[in-house]
Structure 1
Amino acid sequence: MPQDRQSGAEAAAYGRAMGRAIAHLLPARQRRAGSNEVDWQGQPAVIKSCRHANTSFGITTAMLERITIALVAVEDDGGSYTVYALPIDRFRGDLRDSRSGKADGRVKLLPRRYAEHHGRRIATYTPEDIAAARALADTAQTDTKDLYR
């Protein structure tokens, strides 16, 4: 189902929250505020998440120039997430343009099954793991914001 403005904003907020949670669990260090770009095992990476019903994930062309790995968290039927590591060079040729008019060639898509079949499995987290990490990551983000007020 195509996204509208509201569902796109909800997906973006969910993706940022999941990115913080997965970064906390792996662990990975956030590279800059407001982004799911992280340093993971000494490499620049991005954390992407796919809910159960999602068939693909997107990465901006600008981000593809800054990162070497995509860490893709894929949700299963029970709400657990498995994280796969995909080197950018491995899938760069398999990316397709987003059909969104606003993306205008700036967002590339890859099917989630590509991550499941070609990625290296890093970890699997239960819904309880994710909920606890989201709570901790949200608290840490709030604490950090409070330091700079």
Structure 2
Amino acid sequence: MTNVQSENCGYGGMIAASLLLLLWLIPSYSPEYPGYGMSATLVPNLAAGFILLLALLGLTRNMLKARRLSRSGETAGAGAASAAGVAWGHLLRFMLPCALLMPAMSRLGFIPSGVVFMLLVQWFCGQRKPVAMVLVALVPVLTVWALMRFALGVPMP
């Protein structure tokens, strides 16, 4: 598999994952709109839509580049090199916590699942300093919770 092919597979996977989020996970695990404030699905839908847009742009860029190269008769050069160094396991380590975040929020609540999610992602990135891990896990989660709950009036799970 070439680098371009592996990138296209990655973009395709991100497109499929974001469509899964938009069409099933977010609507299934979000609370009903209470009629005031902002809908609980707005921020997750925006994030998943942004991921979908970026993946579509990357896939389009690769396809246009391949089309341009085939018209000019050139080879892909570095893009045709073997993609033996592509770490699909690394991508899976990030996608698994992302996929489990919404179900965990509906069962455990926003704060515990958000903190565990942030700790897992930091661990996978190589962060091993406990104080930094706790601060990075707690501060954003509590800030988002406080903003959603008190500033925007959205009840959090």
For normalisation by structure 1, the TM-score amounts to 0.28
Larger radius of gyration, structure 1 or 2? 2
Higher RCO (CA < 8 A, seq sep 6+): 2
For normalisation by structure 2, the TM-score amounts to 0.27
Structure richer in strand, relative to its length:
1
